[in-house]
Amino acid sequence: MVLGWFGRQAVEIDEVELDRRLADLRRALSCAPPGPGDIGPDHAVRRLRPVGMDLPITSGGGPGAQQPDAIPVTLQLVRPRRKARRQGVAVHSLESGNERSRRRRRLQQAAVVVAVLMVLSAIVGGFYWYRGSGQPAEPPPVMLRVGVLPFVDVAAFYRSVDQGYFRAAGLDVQVVTVASGPEAVRGLETGRLDVAFSSYPGMFMAQATHAADLKIIAPAYIAKPGHLMLVGSPNRSFTRPDQAAHKRIAVTSRGSISDLLAISEMRQAGGDPASVSWVTMDMRAMVPAMQRGEIDGAVVAEPFVTTADDAGAVQLLDLGLDLNFEIAMSGWVVPASFAASRPEVIDAFQHALNRGVGDVQNRDVREQIFQQYLGIDAKTAREVRVGSFPAHLDLGELQRVADLMLEQKMLSAPFDVATMILPGLPGS
């Protein structure tokens, strides 16, 4: 099979067709008039650029016709293939055809690479657009200033801090250590704190006297025997409750739960609370102050009950017995305005805190928290006597505290605790 260019179209021909076409070409060359710039019938010699194998073709074919010089025409022997659609010059060589094929393949490969890169770029760009501007960024955590006391009461709270439960709920908790429940409440009043841990008497007193408008959002702790104690100095100057008159006895604050329960139990034991010289002091300083002889006794809660035992203090009254058995001691409170304006923050705090409450039912978890956050050693952590960490508020138990305050003349009139409970909370 022979591939030749005749006119400006590429065709595939066999030998018979080739002979016929060559004869037609001879006749055309012998009869064609010269054009501008042509010199005689052999102008085809100058128009064609022979490449490859030359095949001599003579112009003219009739009897008596003048035989011109042979015209070299390049023909290419190839295998049968589809007709070429590309227009071009009349003569092509196998070498130039292969070069064009290679160039065309390279261009096609380059085009494929460019297309793939464009697709990948679009995919990657779309991904970052989705992760960046397309997808809303997570809001920053809400900073929450939380006032706490260094008691075992707050073990559930510290567990939630330790495990990142607050952070997972969208809260950035800033821990502020305070000396007493009433001090924590004052922090809410002044705007220094957003949430406060406090014993119930401090918050009830502030609400009843209109010093603050507060809402209880969660319980913290319920007393058990051995958790809260009136102890005497290691020097044994104070060994019985009825010897309390004129003694210097430390409490965290007047109007606190330790103050309330000490007064209640002391009266039952025959002592006169009015004759006591009450000294307000941070509970962490009480045992060292007794050892130095600066005070005669103290009302301490765990882990300081165990610390006082180790220092040789005398246990005078267990304040978690009799009328005070399993009394509600402390909870979490916020300003009413904060509760009304940021209900989603309150919900997040309650949810994260409840996870910690569930965890500290495990003794091993509690001991780890006591050591890490209360600064006590492993031996003391094992010996600490704890109450219970409730998951829900009990309105009846909270009212019991307010009634005891009225009985001990801390309140001048009955107080309804229900006014401090957020709607929708258990017990409300």
Tens of pLDDT, residue by residue over 176-222, are 999 888 889 999 999 999 999 999 999 999 999 999 999 999 999 99
Q: 319, exposed or middle or buried, with CB in 10 Å at 0-12, 13-18, 19+?
A: buried
pLDDT digits (tens, 9 = 90+) for 324-358: 888 999 999 999 999 999 999 999 999 999 999 99
Residue 40 DSSP symbol: S
Are residues 251 and 390 located together in one domain of the fold?
A: no
pLDDT digits (tens, 9 = 90+) for 374-398: 888 999 999 988 889 999 999 999 9
Domain containing 111 equals 96-137
Domain boundary among 299, 324, 349: 324
β strands within 252-389, DSSP E? 277-280, 297-301, 314-318, 328-335
Are residues 211 and 331 located together in one domain of the fold?
A: yes
- Is residue 67 pLDDT above 80, yes or no? no
In a domain? residue 313: yes
In a domain? residue 246: yes
Strands 314-318 and 195-199: unpaired
Angle at 207 between CA 197 and CA 158, to 5 degrees: 5
In a domain? residue 427: no
Quick one: pLDDT at residue 57? 41
Q: What is the CATH number of the domain that holds 347?
A: 3.40.190.10
Q: What is the mean pLDDT of residues 68-72?
A: 45
pLDDT digits (tens, 9 = 90+) for 17-50: 666 666 665 665 555 454 444 444 444 434 444 4
Q: 140, exposed or middle or buried, with CB in 10 Å at 0-12, 13-18, 19+?
A: exposed
Quick one: pLDDT at residue 3? 42
pLDDT digits (tens, 9 = 90+) for 246-267: 999 999 888 888 889 999 888 8
Q: What is the mean pLDDT of residues 272-277?
A: 90
Q: Are 138 and 168 contacting, i.e. CB atoms less than 8 angstroms apart?
A: no
In a domain? residue 278: yes
Are residues 254 and 370 located together in one domain of the fold?
A: no
In a domain? residue 282: yes
- Is residue 2 pLDDT above 50, yes or no? no
Are residues 198 and 335 located together in one domain of the fold?
A: yes
- Is residue 147 pLDDT above 80, yes or no? yes
pLDDT digits (tens, 9 = 90+) for 71-116: 444 444 444 444 444 444 444 444 455 566 666 666 666 565 556 4
CA-wise closest residue to 338 among 212, 425, 426, 428: 212
Are residues 167 and 128 located together in one domain of the fold?
A: no
> What percentage of the chain exceeds 90 in pLDDT?
49
Are residues 320 and 330 located together in one domain of the fold?
A: no
Q: Which residue has the higher pLDDT, 120 or 408?
A: 408
Q: Which residues of 20-57 are buried (b: 16+ CB within 10 A; e: fewer)?
A: eebeebbeebbeeeeeeeeeebebbbeebeebbeebeb
Are residues 269 and 193 located together in one domain of the fold?
A: no
In a domain? residue 425: no
Are residues 14 and 52 located together in one domain of the fold?
A: yes
Residue 388 DSSP symbol: B
In a domain? residue 16: yes
Are residues 268 and 212 located together in one domain of the fold?
A: no
> How many independent structural domains does the chain possess?
4
Q: Which two tokens stand for residue 350?
A: 């309650």
Domain boundary among 324, 359, 384: 324
Q: 77, exposed or middle or buried, with CB in 10 Å at 0-12, 13-18, 19+?
A: exposed
Average pLDDT, the chain: 78
Are residues 343 and 274 located together in one domain of the fold?
A: no
Rounded CA-CA distance 250/246 in Å is: 12
In a domain? residue 122: yes
Are residues 269 and 394 located together in one domain of the fold?
A: no
Q: What is the mean pLDDT of residues 147-164?
A: 94
Are residues 186 and 330 located together in one domain of the fold?
A: yes
51 falls in which pLDDT band (50, 70, 90)?
very low
Whether the CA torsion 35, 37, 41, 46 is positive or negative: it is negative
Quick one: pLDDT at residue 275? 92
Q: What is the mean pLDDT of residues 228-233?
A: 93
